[in-house]
Every structure is written in C-alpha cells, then in structure tokens.
C-alpha cells in the first residue's frame, strides 16, 4: 500500500530525511513515531507529492507520488497537522466544496461521520473550538472511505471521548483492508491502535517493530499511595522494576514494560491511589538509540 525506497529530502544543507526505506501492507495501522523535527511531516508531504524528493522514490498503491500525484490523491485521505480552513465558511459549505472537488463521496457515508462526531454543520468554521475544527478535518479525510489514510498528529484538541470514537474509526478502516499511516509523538494513542511502528530520529529510521515489542521497552514512573509500608527490597527484585524509592505516603517506582507483577506484589499493602506518568517518548527513543 505504501512503499519508499531510499527516500531523501534536503533543504539546502539541512537533511530532513535520509534514505528512508518502508513497506506498509494492507489491513495495517502503521505508527510513525519521532520527536519534533525528526522528519515525520516531511515524510508525509513526500508521500502526498506535496514535496519532491531530493533522491529515492515513494509509491502509494503502486502510484509514483511524483509522476502520478493525482492518482495518489484519489486514493488517500489526508489529515494535516496544521489544519487551515476558511473561517467564513460553515462546516457544511466546506464539506460540500471538498465533496464536489473530489467526486464519488457518498452523502450517506458523510452524514454518518457527521453524526458520529456530533458535528454542527450550520456553524461557521471561525466560531468553532479547536476540537470541533479538528472534527471537521477528520470528516473531510474519511468521508470518501479512502483505501489509505495519512494522518499527521490527528487527535490534537480532541477530548477523550472523541479520541476514542476516532481510534475506533481507524480500527474499522484497518478491518476492511485499508491502511492507516499515523504520525504522532503521543505513544499512548499509537499503543491503542497500531500494529507496527517505525521510529525516526534526525531524518533517519532507527527501528521498525511491533507495538508489543516497543511497549516492552518503555519505562514509566509510578507512584503508589498505600496503607501499609512498601517493601522496597521486594519491589526492587520484582520483574520489570528498575528502581524503587520511598515517597510521601507510599513509594515511587520506575517500571519497564508490564506493570502486572508490580500490582500483584503491592495489592496486600492496600493501594489507595496510583499515579502513572504518560510514557515519555524521549525516554523510549533514548532507550532505542542505545543500540545505535
């Protein structure tokens, strides 16, 4: 569905992407991870033919993204990271305009998406909150039921319930044989839906792995508030625990991978509260880069 061979992009002396080789098959949600400036958005713009590669090539459904850009745009749904919509248009006018430009949009499929995301089509774009503007952008990307979805930081501004609805939509796209190329720096949402992830740093591919393998190597800081004092020695000997130290009313633990063994050990101490940091991608990347 998506293939890149030696895909590279330079801006003067700056290397934005360096010999990227990827293959993404059908029925797959492909997470494309990296910190800001890693080359994620540059890769997406190259895949859509919005930039020309300095060297190498890319194909979407067998269409060369430079020579056959129009065909690529027919089969792709695109959600950019910096959505820009005319604020004077209503949501309905905007979606009608794009439907007419694209052609082949089933009005019933579009209406189902509008209802699913509880979108008010009568309001002007300029009066919508950031989250509701993002919902308009999601509908335009998905309303023609594309075979390939290319998404750049798609959940910005969405509340948790809408995020869940959106991730369900991605699973449905995968289950009907479509492909989702999901660029993000939020590991938690990628963990929820992705089958495979690629990690980029400084424009170069660092690793391609399954989500299960990636999460096994991630570290979280967990603070447990307990009735009884925690046994620090037992904690430090527990599978996955990297370190353990006393905390106000409990214990602070750094865990790599699954936290099941930690919670099994801590249950008899009477756990009142658990605070777990979101996975810090910088830490994940540093851990991956130790081998590079």
List alpha helices for 29-159, DSSP H: 40-47, 69-75, 91-102, 107-116, 130-142
- Domain shared by 188 and 53, yes or no: yes
**Residue 187 sits in the same domain as residue 238:** no
**Domain end marker among 184, 210, 236:** 210
Q: Are residues 272 and 191 in the same domain?
A: no
CATH number of the domain where residue 225 is located: 3.30.70
The owner of tokens 């190597």 is 217
Residues facing 220 on adjacent strands: 255
Residue 132's SS3 state is helix
Q: Kindly report the length of the chain.
A: 292
CATH assignment at residue 58: 3.40.50.300
Count of beta carbons in the 10 Å neighbourhood of residue 45 = 20
Do residue 90 and residue 195 come from a single domain?
yes
Range of the domain at 198: 2-210
Task: Give pTM, 2 decimals.
Answer: 0.79
Q: Tell whether 25 and 140 lie within a shared domain.
A: yes
Last residue of a domain, one of 210, 229, 252: 210
User: Quick check: 256 and 275 in contact, CB under 8 A?
Assistant: no
Each residue's pLDDT expressed in tens, for the chain with a length of 292 residues: 999 999 999 999 999 999 999 999 999 999 998 878 889 999 999 999 999 999 999 999 999 999 999 999 999 999 998 888 999 999 999 999 999 998 889 999 999 999 999 999 999 999 999 999 999 999 999 999 999 999 998 988 889 999 999 999 999 999 999 999 999 877 777 878 999 989 888 899 988 888 777 666 777 889 999 999 999 999 999 998 999 999 888 999 998 878 899 999 999 999 999 998 765 555 565 666 555 5
278 and 140 assigned to the same domain? no
The number of folded domains in the chain is 2
Q: Which of 210, 237, 252 is the last residue of a domain?
A: 210
* 262 and 190 fall within a common domain: no
* Residue 179 shares a structural domain with residue 38: yes
Dist CA 112 CA 139 (whole Å): 10
Same domain, 135 and 241: no
Asked if 243 and 123 sit in the same domain, the reply is: no
Residue pLDDT, tens place only, 106-135: 999 999 999 999 999 999 999 999 999 999
Examine the domain organization and report whether 202 and 238 are in the same domain: no
């Amino acid at each position: 569905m998506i293939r890149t061979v030696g895909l590279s992009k330079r801006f003067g002396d700056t290397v934005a992407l360096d010999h990227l080789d990827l293959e993404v098959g059908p029925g797959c949600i492909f997470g494309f991870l990296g910190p800001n400036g890693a080359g994620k958005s540059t890769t997406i713009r190259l895949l859509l033919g919005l930039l020309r590669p300095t060297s190498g090539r890319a194909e979407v459904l067998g269409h060369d993204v430079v020579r056959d850009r129009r065909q690529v745009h027919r089969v792709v749904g695109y959600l950019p990271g910096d959505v820009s919509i005319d604020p004077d248009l209503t949501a309905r006018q905007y979606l009608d305009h794009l439907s007419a430009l694209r052609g082949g949009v089933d009005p019933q499929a579009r209406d189902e998406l509008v209802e699913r995301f509880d979108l008010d089509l009568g309001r002007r774009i300029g009066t919508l909150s950031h989250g509701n503007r993002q919902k308009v952008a999601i509908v335009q990307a998905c309303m023609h039921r594309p075979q390939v979805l290319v998404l750049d930081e798609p959940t910005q501004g969405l509340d948790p319930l809408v995020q869940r609805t959106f991730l369900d939509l991605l699973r449905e796209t995968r289950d009907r044989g479509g492909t989702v190329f999901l660029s993000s720096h939020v590991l938690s949402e990628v963990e929820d839906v992705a089958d495979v992830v690629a990690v980029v740093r400084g424009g170069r591919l660092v690793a391609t792995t399954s989500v299960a393998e990636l999460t096994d190597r991630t570290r979280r800081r967990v603070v447990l508030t307990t009735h009884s004092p925690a046994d620090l020695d037992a904690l430090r000997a527990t599978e996955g625990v990297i370190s353990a130290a006393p905390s106000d009313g409990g214990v602070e633990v750094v865990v790599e991978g699954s936290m099941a063994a930690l919670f099994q050990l801590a249950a008899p101490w009477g756990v009142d509260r658990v605070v777990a940091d979101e996975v810090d991608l910088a830490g994940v990347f540093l851990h991956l880069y130790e081998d590079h």
